[in-house]
Amino acid sequence: MSGAAASATALPDLIARHRSWHWPVLLAGPALVLTAFLPRELGWICELAAIIFLGVPHGALDGEIARDVLRPRLGWAWFLVFSLPYLSLFAFVLAAWYVAPLSTLAIFLAASVWHFGSEDAPAGAMLEALIRGGLPIALPVLLHPTKIAFVLATIAHVPFAQPPDWLWAGSLCWLVLAVLWLGLTISRGAQRGLVIPGMLAGIFIVLPPLAAFAIYFVCVHAPTHTAALIHNPLRARRVYDDRSALILAFPLTGLTLLIGAALWPLYTGQVPERLLSLTIQILAALTLPHMLLDIWLTMRERSMLKSHVTAHLGW
């Protein structure tokens, strides 16, 4: 398939897979592009509001996933068994931002690469997962170093004018691997797989880091995660379309907002900087239990599948 034909079909395919999510893709995307032309403080508030209200709910479905697994065995106690470790890990990460901010930032960025890549790339495509997962982090470092340094310094409360050396090194390694992946993809005639990463790369090249990340998180990552959950017969069986996902995500989304409001007085600075630091630190705190839950469920599902195949074959 030619590059032009791939471009013509890949975006409609993406929207079709997320057909119940077309409204944030069609409305939030252009709106977030416009935020890049607002004064920085107002732009940040709008971008962070989109991340909070349109991006966070996809992770709030963890409660519904855990309910399917735990409630049949534990009854009403399932929520305590789920929430206590989850909130403990959440609190641990928030505390780590104060005790060791640079180390926490490094671990969070590395975990984000793995998390984004594993959900946005096909299963088993390790190189593609690394490229897709690293794109939202490496490109701003390489192309907008001063702006991303300010964003990261605001999040971690550690002053630096340029990205740390370890982040530069990681981003340059990502660039080398991205060029390799690009060449391999073209050589296989699989240009269709380059359309969405190419569009995202253009967004991260043109727009400020936070605006570009908000578009990625709201219009690509969250819909991809939710669509995968809707089509997964083993997880969250009450989540069968986007309306059900939104309704079932509401309780934990509300709880997250209440926790954020309770933590607000602990943060200092002007409103945009406080909101940025609080939002991203909470996202980091949610990412750890979210990833661990996903790893545990994946291992559990593989074990169930192996047992089913073994029983079916009579081994």
End-to-end, the C-alpha distance of the chain in Å comes to: 44
Structure tokens at 141: 């470092």
| Cβ(211)–Cβ(152) below 8 Å | no
Residue 10's pLDDT is 44
Task: Show the tokens assigned to 156.
Answer: 């971690």
pLDDT at residue 280 in the model: 96
pLDDT tier, 308 (very low <50, low <70, confident <90, very high otherwise): low
Task: Considering only residues 305 and 96, tell me which one the structure prediction assigns the higher pLDDT.
Answer: 96
pLDDT for 6 beyond 60:
no
Digit-coded pLDDT (tens) for 157-191: 998 889 999 999 999 999 999 999 999 999 998 88
Q: What is the SS3 assignment for 155-222?
A: HHCCCCCCCCHHHHHHHHHHHHHHHHHHHHHHHCCCHHHHHHHHHHHHHHHHCCHHHHHHHHHHHHHH
3-state class (DSSP) for residue 121: coil
Determine which of 104-108, 223-227, 252-256 has the lowest per-residue pLDDT on average. 223-227
CB 128 within 8 A of CB 122: yes
**In contact, 230 and 239? CB cutoff 8 Å:** yes
Alpha carbon separation from 263 to 62, 136, 258, 281 (Å, rounded) = 22, 27, 9, 11
pLDDT over threshold 60, residue 1? no
What pLDDT shows up at residue 121? 79
Instruction: Grade residue 151 by pLDDT with cuts at 50, 70 and 90.
Output: very high
Contacts of 291 (CB under 8 A, 6+ apart): 111, 114, 115
> What pLDDT sits at residue 314?
56
Stretch 234-252: mean pLDDT, rounded? 86
Mean pLDDT of 65-76: 88
Report long-range pairs for 164-169 (Cβ below 8 Å, ≥24 apart): 164/102, 164/106, 166/106, 167/106, 167/109, 167/141, 168/141
Average pLDDT value for residue range 259-283: 95
- pLDDT at res. 208: 95
Quote the pLDDT of residue 22. 55
Cα 110 → chain centroid: 12
- Contact yes or no for 119/225 (Cβ under 8 A): yes
Residue 203: its pLDDT value, please? 95
Mean pLDDT of the chain: 87
Proportion of the chain above pLDDT 70, given as a percent: 88
The reported pLDDT for the residue numbered 16 is 47
Q: In this structure, are residues 135 and 204 in contact, taking their beta carbons and an 8 Å threshold?
A: yes
Domain ranges of the chain: 3-313
pLDDT on residue 26: 67
Q: Which two three-digit tokens encode residue 235? A: 């997880």
